[in-house]
């Protein structure tokens, strides 16, 4: 009877130890599972020709699609039905009351947002960055010209909004913009370029 109890106890202890190793991943000196210790099979393995092999770059691009760069004036609709369009840049002269860094050229963009999603979107969480000749452009604020940045308001389901933003740039023919509505992180950042 003692032998039977001792055998059952040994089996339970062994089972608990194997369960602990399975859940914790084991240690660096543990014996690998039997599947990794198998001798090589004598059966032929199917060969993969270079033309049929998928290069790692193609696999990576399938895993996370590269965001396309849009031309100014083109719209983009996200997965949830929110559509954004950034208009073509227009040169302008700021008023004397504008808050800005001195620049040779100033451009403004009209940003249109149409909300066909199932919930309101918060335009106050809009992120905008512009570069010109690989230099960060300075956003300007000029209430006399209607350039107040993204409005601090929500756009209800089925509604639209439009606002303008302005920047001092090095070259109006060389512009790159990143814009995002950060109230939903599932929406990828849009990229626009001249």
Residue 23 shares a structural domain with residue 114: no
Residue 108 shares a structural domain with residue 166: yes
Backbone φ/ψ region at 134: left (φ over 0), alpha (ψ -120 to 50), beta: left
Alpha helices in the chain (DSSP H): 2-24, 56-63
In sequence order, what are the beta bridge partners of 128?
179
Chain mean pLDDT for the chain: 78
Residue 78 shares a structural domain with residue 155: yes
Range of 184's domain?
69-193
In sequence order, what are the beta bridge partners of 175?
132
Residue 154 shares a structural domain with residue 74: yes
Query: Alpha-carbon distance 126 to 84, whole Å?
Result: 11
pTM of the model: 0.65
pLDDT digits (tens, 9 = 90+) for 163-172: 999 999 999 9
* CA 152 to chain centroid: 23
Give 104's pLDDT tier (boundaries 50, 70, 90).
confident
User: What's residue 183's pLDDT?
Assistant: 85
Residue 83 shares a structural domain with residue 172: yes
The Cβ of residue 162 has, within 10 Å, a number of other Cβ atoms equal to 12
Whether residue 31 is predicted with pLDDT greater than 90 in this model: the reply is no
Give 68's pLDDT tier (boundaries 50, 70, 90).
confident
Whether residue 84 is predicted with pLDDT greater than 90 in this model: the reply is yes
Residue 179 shares a structural domain with residue 99: yes
Query: Alpha-carbon distance 190 to 177, whole Å?
Result: 8
Q: Can you tell me the mean pLDDT for 83-91?
A: 97
User: What's residue 99's pLDDT?
Assistant: 85
């Amino acid at each position: 009877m003692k032998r039977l109890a001792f055998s059952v106890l040994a089996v339970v202890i062994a089972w608990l130890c194997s369960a602990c190793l399975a859940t914790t991943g084991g240690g660096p000196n543990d014996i690998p599972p039997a599947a990794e210790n198998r001798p090589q099979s004598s059966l032929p393995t199917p060969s993969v020709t270079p033309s049929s092999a998928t290069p790692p770059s193609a696999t990576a691009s399938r895993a996370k699609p590269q965001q396309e760069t849009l031309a100014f004036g083109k719209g983009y609709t996200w997965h949830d039905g929110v559509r954004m369009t950034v208009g073509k840049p227009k040169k302008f002269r700021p008023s004397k009351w504008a808050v800005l860094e001195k620049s040779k050229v100033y451009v403004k963009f009209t940003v249109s947002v149409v909300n066909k999603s199932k919930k309101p979107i918060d335009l106050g969480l809009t992120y905008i960055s512009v570069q010109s000749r690989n230099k960060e452009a300075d956003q300007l604020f000029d209430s006399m010209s209607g350039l107040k940045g993204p409005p601090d308001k929500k756009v209800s389901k089925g509604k639209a909004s439009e606002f303008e933003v302005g920047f001092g740039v090095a070259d109006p023919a060389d512009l790159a913009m990143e814009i995002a509505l950060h109230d939903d992180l599932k929406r990828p950042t849009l990229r626009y370029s001249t």
